Amino acid sequence: MNAILRVEEWGDHHHPIWLDFLRILVGLILILRGFLFALHSGVITDLVLEDPLQYLTFMGAQYIILFHIAGGILITLGILTRFSALMNLPILISEIFFINLPRDLMPFNSELVLSIALLIVLIVYLIFGDGKFSTDHFVSVHKDIW
Protein backbone atom coordinates (compact mmCIF):
# COMPACT_ATOMS: atom_id res chain seq x y z
CA MET A 1 0.00 0.00 0.00
CA ASN A 2 2.89 2.32 0.77
CA ALA A 3 4.30 1.82 -2.74
CA ILE A 4 0.96 2.78 -4.30
CA LEU A 5 0.84 5.98 -2.25
CA ARG A 6 4.43 6.83 -3.21
CA VAL A 7 3.68 6.30 -6.93
CA GLU A 8 0.53 8.44 -6.59
CA GLU A 9 2.45 11.23 -4.84
CA TRP A 10 5.26 11.09 -7.43
CA GLY A 11 2.72 11.25 -10.26
CA ASP A 12 1.00 14.26 -8.69
CA HIS A 13 4.28 16.20 -8.53
CA HIS A 14 5.56 15.24 -12.00
CA HIS A 15 2.53 15.99 -14.13
CA PRO A 16 3.18 17.93 -17.36
CA ILE A 17 0.47 20.32 -18.51
CA TRP A 18 0.04 18.65 -21.90
CA LEU A 19 -1.23 15.55 -20.08
CA ASP A 20 -4.20 17.63 -18.89
CA PHE A 21 -5.20 18.43 -22.45
CA LEU A 22 -4.69 14.79 -23.45
CA ARG A 23 -6.89 13.79 -20.48
CA ILE A 24 -9.71 15.97 -21.78
CA LEU A 25 -9.36 14.51 -25.28
CA VAL A 26 -9.33 10.92 -23.96
CA GLY A 27 -12.43 11.63 -21.88
CA LEU A 28 -14.27 12.99 -24.91
CA ILE A 29 -13.24 9.95 -26.98
CA LEU A 30 -14.55 7.61 -24.28
CA ILE A 31 -17.86 9.49 -24.16
CA LEU A 32 -18.16 9.27 -27.95
CA ARG A 33 -17.32 5.55 -27.96
CA GLY A 34 -19.93 4.93 -25.24
CA PHE A 35 -22.64 6.73 -27.20
CA LEU A 36 -21.67 4.98 -30.43
CA PHE A 37 -21.84 1.61 -28.70
CA ALA A 38 -25.26 2.50 -27.26
CA LEU A 39 -26.54 3.64 -30.67
CA HIS A 40 -25.67 0.27 -32.24
CA SER A 41 -28.42 -1.54 -30.38
CA GLY A 42 -28.83 -4.02 -33.24
CA VAL A 43 -25.30 -5.29 -32.75
CA ILE A 44 -25.86 -5.55 -28.99
CA THR A 45 -29.11 -7.46 -29.57
CA ASP A 46 -27.37 -9.87 -31.95
CA LEU A 47 -24.60 -10.47 -29.42
CA VAL A 48 -27.10 -11.14 -26.65
CA LEU A 49 -29.23 -13.50 -28.75
CA GLU A 50 -26.24 -15.53 -30.01
CA ASP A 51 -24.66 -16.03 -26.60
CA PRO A 52 -25.84 -18.81 -24.27
CA LEU A 53 -25.09 -16.52 -21.33
CA GLN A 54 -27.51 -13.84 -22.54
CA TYR A 55 -27.91 -12.11 -19.20
CA LEU A 56 -24.16 -11.73 -18.67
CA THR A 57 -23.67 -10.46 -22.22
CA PHE A 58 -26.42 -7.89 -21.74
CA MET A 59 -24.95 -6.78 -18.40
CA GLY A 60 -21.51 -6.52 -19.99
CA ALA A 61 -22.90 -4.27 -22.72
CA GLN A 62 -24.51 -2.04 -20.08
CA TYR A 63 -21.22 -1.92 -18.15
CA ILE A 64 -19.40 -0.79 -21.29
CA ILE A 65 -21.92 1.95 -22.01
CA LEU A 66 -22.05 3.15 -18.40
CA PHE A 67 -18.34 3.26 -17.74
CA HIS A 68 -17.38 4.69 -21.13
CA ILE A 69 -19.87 7.55 -20.80
CA ALA A 70 -19.68 8.19 -17.04
CA GLY A 71 -15.95 7.50 -16.90
CA GLY A 72 -15.37 9.73 -19.92
CA ILE A 73 -17.26 12.58 -18.26
CA LEU A 74 -15.30 12.15 -15.02
CA ILE A 75 -11.97 11.94 -16.86
CA THR A 76 -12.80 15.02 -18.96
CA LEU A 77 -13.67 17.06 -15.86
CA GLY A 78 -10.78 15.64 -13.83
CA ILE A 79 -12.93 14.05 -11.12
CA LEU A 80 -11.81 10.65 -9.77
CA THR A 81 -9.54 10.22 -12.78
CA ARG A 82 -7.62 7.25 -11.42
CA PHE A 83 -10.82 5.41 -10.49
CA SER A 84 -12.42 6.12 -13.88
CA ALA A 85 -9.31 4.97 -15.70
CA LEU A 86 -9.24 1.79 -13.62
CA MET A 87 -12.91 1.06 -14.42
CA ASN A 88 -12.29 1.45 -18.17
CA LEU A 89 -9.20 -0.80 -18.26
CA PRO A 90 -11.11 -4.14 -18.31
CA ILE A 91 -13.26 -2.87 -21.17
CA LEU A 92 -10.27 -1.93 -23.31
CA ILE A 93 -8.30 -5.07 -22.49
CA SER A 94 -11.31 -7.22 -23.43
CA GLU A 95 -11.88 -5.19 -26.57
CA ILE A 96 -8.28 -5.62 -27.69
CA PHE A 97 -7.97 -9.35 -27.06
CA PHE A 98 -11.49 -10.62 -27.75
CA ILE A 99 -12.88 -8.29 -30.41
CA ASN A 100 -10.16 -6.46 -32.35
CA LEU A 101 -7.35 -9.03 -32.51
CA PRO A 102 -9.44 -12.01 -33.70
CA ARG A 103 -11.49 -9.93 -36.14
CA ASP A 104 -8.87 -8.35 -38.35
CA LEU A 105 -5.22 -9.22 -38.43
CA MET A 106 -4.55 -6.58 -41.03
CA PRO A 107 -1.41 -4.45 -40.71
CA PHE A 108 -3.45 -1.37 -39.82
CA ASN A 109 -6.64 -1.86 -37.88
CA SER A 110 -7.72 1.59 -36.71
CA GLU A 111 -9.99 0.25 -33.94
CA LEU A 112 -7.17 -1.87 -32.59
CA VAL A 113 -4.73 1.04 -32.69
CA LEU A 114 -7.24 3.35 -30.95
CA SER A 115 -7.98 0.75 -28.27
CA ILE A 116 -4.29 0.16 -27.58
CA ALA A 117 -3.62 3.93 -27.46
CA LEU A 118 -6.50 4.47 -25.03
CA LEU A 119 -5.28 1.59 -22.87
CA ILE A 120 -1.77 3.05 -22.68
CA VAL A 121 -3.05 6.54 -21.90
CA LEU A 122 -5.38 5.25 -19.17
CA ILE A 123 -2.46 3.39 -17.57
CA VAL A 124 -0.52 6.67 -17.65
CA TYR A 125 -3.42 8.38 -15.83
CA LEU A 126 -3.41 5.66 -13.20
CA ILE A 127 0.15 6.75 -12.43
CA PHE A 128 0.05 10.51 -13.03
CA GLY A 129 -3.49 11.34 -11.90
CA ASP A 130 -5.59 14.23 -13.09
CA GLY A 131 -3.26 17.24 -13.01
CA LYS A 132 -3.63 20.94 -12.29
CA PHE A 133 -6.45 21.65 -14.75
CA SER A 134 -8.93 19.39 -13.03
CA THR A 135 -11.89 19.73 -10.74
CA ASP A 136 -10.20 17.63 -8.03
CA HIS A 137 -7.17 19.94 -8.01
CA PHE A 138 -9.38 23.06 -7.96
CA VAL A 139 -11.37 21.74 -5.00
CA SER A 140 -8.24 20.74 -3.08
CA VAL A 141 -6.63 24.15 -3.61
CA HIS A 142 -9.80 26.13 -2.78
CA LYS A 143 -10.96 24.27 0.30
CA ASP A 144 -11.88 27.54 2.00
CA ILE A 145 -14.64 28.21 -0.58
CA TRP A 146 -16.43 24.97 0.22
User: pLDDT of 18-46, one tens digit each?
Assistant: 888 999 999 999 999 999 988 987 776 77
pTM over 0.85: no
DSSP string, 56-84: HHHHHHHHHHHHHHHHHHHHHHTSSHHHH
138 against 55, higher pLDDT: 138
Helices (H), the chain: 2-13, 18-39, 41-50, 54-77, 81-94, 101-103, 110-128, 135-141
Residue 130 DSSP SS3 = coil
Q: Exposed/middle/buried for 73, CB within 10 Å: 0-12, 13-18, 19+?
A: middle
